[in-house]
Amino acid sequence: MIQFNLNHKDPHSKARAGTLITDHGIIETPIFMPVGTLGTVKGVHQKELNDQVRAQIILANTYHLFLRPDMDIMSKAGGIHKFINWDKPLLTDSGGYQIFSLSARRKITNEGVTFFSHIDGSKQFFTPESVVDIQRIIGSDIMMALDECTPYPCTRQYAVKSLKITKNWLERGIIQMEQTKPLYQHSQIFVPIAQGSLFEDLRQESILFNNQYQSPIYAIGGLSVGEPEEDLYKYVDICTNFMLPGSGRYLMGVGSPKNILECIALGIDFFDCVLPTRNGRHGIIYTSQGIINIRNKKWKDDFSPLDEELGLVTSQVHSKAYLRHLFMSGEMLGSQLASLQNLTFYLWLVNSAREEILKNNFTIWKDEILSKITRRL
């Protein structure tokens, strides 16, 4: 059985510290989940994720794993934990966002969504029921409901129609969840996703609808899709006002270090984003002292360690000059070291936030740390 426990609430904000208990381990929140879309966090080995980044949970994607390697291989492997050799918790997104990104190559109806594979162009059809079945075969601890992620900007008419579909899909997914069982002797949960674009009443309607269905976690989708930052915070605040206080809250696809800390203050517990690894591959590095563009000439003869504060060995023994050399030479080790640093930074940040929440010092700490880590060095 998977259970979320709320351990402490910050007296000066909506920030919370909690724990999610799963059969694959305990997750302490707030937490950042590295994105391993295809069963791999790009450029980072599972042993590094475990021993150095100290990731407590990672994320994979139903859409991508369904297409490749496919569910026959996944079933023969005994599920994703065995397939990728990961013995900690794992979450799978339903593929709704990926289908959203295929806007020119998909058709959404109340029955489901028709789309064409980005790999070979083959025609595929997802229903709320089939997405549950696929995630049963994958064997993720946390399964996400199929939803439609509305674009930004979005008309009210479209948002109303889209929310109706998402609600219908949730009901059907829950029925399928109740009629099926886990395949690999560990518990799985099914997480509803709130939609409603940038319409307050639709967001409230979606969340109150989702609250009818018991889940240790509820998610907020359809944000961080191009809207202004102030709207992100506004609608996260609105959403958490109506979400059940004793359950975990997952903000999907967010975000920058600043986004994460501001949204922790607004009551969010779980985050995921490709930003740390994507930016790492392009030489943008997050450190405890600020943000570095390692390709800049100023680092050419800087032989100081990349970051001494986080406890990451590779960032303590390798200099900024060496890392710049790797990037300028096109060596893949550069991207690997940068990704490792960025993920370690993100986990350090949320772990530090948790410590400060427990000490009732989160708000003061947040303002101080943001002025430091958002500096361009």
In this predicted model, what pLDDT tens digit does every residue of 258-267 receive, in sequence order? 999 999 999 9
Measure Cα distances from 66 to 70, 72, 80, 130 in Å.
5, 9, 12, 11
What pLDDT is recorded for position 105? 78
Based on the residue annotation, tell me whether 23 is a catalytic residue of this protein.
no
Residue with tokens 């302490």: 28
**Three-state DSSP state, 239:** helix
pLDDT in tens, 327-340: 999 999 999 999 99
What pLDDT is recorded for position 230? 97
Identify the residue with better confidence: 102 or 48: 48
Share of the chain above pLDDT 70, in %: 99
Complete domains list, the chain, with CATH: 3-273 (3.20.20.105), 274-377 (no CATH)
- Residue 347 has phi, psi (to 5 degrees) of -70, -35
- Residue 225 has phi, psi (to 5 degrees) of -120, 25
Based on the residue annotation, tell me whether 133 is a catalytic residue of this protein.
no
pLDDT in tens, 64-119: 999 999 999 999 999 999 999 999 999 999 987 777 676 677 889 999 999 888 88
Q: What is the pTM of this model?
A: 0.97
Task: Report the mean per-residue pLDDT for the chain.
Answer: 96
pLDDT in tens, 232-285: 999 999 999 999 999 999 999 999 999 999 999 999 999 999 999 999 999 999
What pLDDT is recorded for position 191? 98
**Three-state DSSP state, 67:** helix
Catalytic residue, from 10, 93, 141, 147: name it. 93
What pLDDT is recorded for position 97? 75
Cis amide linkage into residue 11, ω under 30° from 0 = no
Question: What would the 3-class secondary structure string for 336-364 be?
Answer: HHHHHHHHHHHHHHHHHHHHHHHCCCHHH
Task: Report the phi/psi class of residue 98: left, alpha or beta, with left for phi > 0 and alpha for psi in -120 to 50.
Answer: alpha
What pLDDT is recorded for position 231? 98
pLDDT in tens, 20-33: 999 999 999 999 99
What pLDDT is recorded for position 98? 74
Give 183's pLDDT tier (boundaries 50, 70, 90). very high
Task: Report the phi/psi class of residue 253: left, alpha or beta, with left for phi > 0 and alpha for psi in -120 to 50.
Answer: left
Say how far residue 18 (Cα) sits from the centre of its chain. Answer: 17
Give 317's pLDDT tier (boundaries 50, 70, 90). very high
Identify the residue with better confidence: 116 or 188: 188
